[in-house]
Structures are given as C-alpha cells and as structure tokens.
Structure 1
Amino acid sequence: MNKFNEVPGSPSNQDPNAPLAVQLMNEQDFAHIYRNCWKSVFGIIFHYTRDEEIAEEICQDLFASLWERREKITIKTTIEQYLNRAAKLEAFEYLRTSNSHREHIKCALQNFSCSRNCTEEHVLFSELNGNLSLLVEELPCRCREVYRLSQEQGMNNKAIGVALVISEKTVEYHLYKAISFLRSNLQEFR
C-alpha cells in the first residue's frame, strides 16, 4: 500500500465529509480519480457549453490542473464534489470569456466595417468635391462669385449684395442659377 492510500480520506477509504489529502496523491491514485469522475465532470461541462470538443478540452484541463496543483491545494469536500464544482466554474468561465470574445469580435467587425465605410465615404466625398470645384469654375463669372461668397464664405444674400453692389434679388437669381446648374450636373452622386 502507498502513502496516499494509508491516509484517511484517500480514494479507497474516503469519508464523504473528510478533506482529501491530494498532496500525497500518486499517479495510480490520480488515475483512479480520473476513471471514477471524468464522466460526471465532462457531463457537467457539456451541459453548459453544448460543445463536445470544448467539454473534453475543459475536462482535460481541469484534471491536469488538479494533478499540477496537487501539492498546493486542500480539498475540504469529497473529490467528486470538488471536481463537479470546478467543472461548473470552468464551464461558466468559458461561457463568460467566449461571450466576451464574441462581443469583442463583433465590435471589431463593426468598427472595421465602419472604418471601411468611412474610407469609402471619404473617397466619394473627395470625388464629389473635386467635381463640384470643376463645375463651379464653369459657372458664369458673376454667378461663380455669388456662389463662392454664399457657400464658401458663408455670407448672407444682403452682405453679398452690398459686397458686389447688386440687389438681393439679383443675388438670389445667381444662387438659383448656380445651384440648378450644379444639381443637374451632379446627378450621378445622388
């Protein structure tokens, strides 16, 4: 008999309320625990994740962690209760992080999509602005002056009339002509 089996609370003579002395567990004891508990641990994880591969991965990681940390942990319940609780916690952690990961991916895709649309919109805006500048140059001289003072300088009709020494009605007429000309020549950007 090995040291582990001589300790009260070992797998062979475990009291359900006694702590398990996992610090003294050897490979045979671990194999015994694995054989007796892996189905319930897997079942719990699968119940929450609904993914067989993920459940197997988490289950294997849980048992590997038990083996690696055996000298550092103290179990105050039965090994089965400990593993079942750990399985639930690991499943919940997986779901929490995978949902968070999915949200980050979704957000990143939206940002990528938005930035792609912003770039596309920027290119279209630049093209529109270039065409608009060319068309403004085609306007008759007085019409072009009125349009630029209104749209580029932000002046109102009365201020334009004063600056160019023309009536407000004449300013309105030139703006109407300029906007009609531009609108009809920029149809492709609608």
Structure 2
Amino acid sequence: MTSLDDKKILEDLNAGNYQAFTLLYEKYWETLFLYVQRIIHNESEAKDIIQDTFLTIWNLKGKLGHVHSFKAYALTIAGRKALRYIRAHVQETALTESFIAFLKDAEPNALDQLIKNELARFVEQEIDKLPERMRETYKKSRDEGLSNREIAAIMEVSDQTVKKQLNYSLRHLRLSLSKFHALLAIYFLLH
C-alpha cells in the first residue's frame, strides 16, 4: 500500500467510512503495538493503549483533514498515551514505595505496630467501601494475584472493564491513603 493509498483511506476515514478505519487498523496495529511495547514493557497495557489510540482516532473522524501521515499521527497519539501510563504508574509506585519504606525503616516498637495495624485496618475499610464488583475485582488482582485477563474471564467482563475497575479502586485508595498519611503527619507533629 503506497502513501497515496493511505491518503485516500485517510480521506475515507475522515468521512466516517468504517472500512477505511479497519484497513488502517489492520495495517498499523502491529507497528503501534511494538512501539508502545518498547516504551512501557507491558504487553497487556500496550494492547490496551493501542485499542485506546484507535478509539481516539475513530472518535476524531471528520477532524483529520490536517493529517498528512496516518502512521506519524497514530504514533504520536500512542506515544502520548504510553507516557501518560508511565506517569500514572510511577506516581502509584512512588506512593506505595514510600509507605513500604516508612514501615520497613521504623524501629519495631509498640507505636509502630499500632500504626501498621491502623493502616491495615484503614485500607481494609476503604476496600470495603468499594462497590461489590469493584471490590471483588480488586481482591482478585491484589490478594489472589490474578491478571486482568484471568479476572475478566472469571467475572465474565471485558479486560477493559477490569482495568477501569482497578484504576478506580487504586485512585480511591491513593486518595484515602493520602488522608491517612496527612493524619499521621499531624500526629507526629503534635507529639
């Protein structure tokens, strides 16, 4: 397929032609996947990012008149989504590592044990506040160590649904833990 063919297909996509979209999807899916996979080193997430990239492109049909190279345009969108994934993952990992470091570095004494117990109780309470299916998804992921695909098969939902439920659960826990962390800081400042 030449660049002239791509230009015609892109024009058809811009006009809302689903067959044109399918042709571009089939032609560029693997290229985009390999690109994102090299960035984030996570096959499942890379596939999700590519699906999201093509969904974004489909939703932009009718507004793609300025695009001269579909490949470059799609790579740009996929690359930005991959970087957003990395930023979100780094923030989640940094918060978790901060709490783990705090718990490991502290001398084992009654106060530390009390804080650990309170933190565990607090996290359990926050998990219990999640909607039932979301809580079940979270526990299958974190407690049972199942992958998104395994959870989706067990719960008879899509991988994307599992991913969204886990993202919401983690966002809820991050916000809750930041409140706990703030209360803990206030406690130590007052004592």
Normalised to the residue count of structure 1, the TM-score between the two structures is 0.47
Normalised to the residue count of structure 2, the TM-score between the two structures is 0.47
Larger radius of gyration: 1
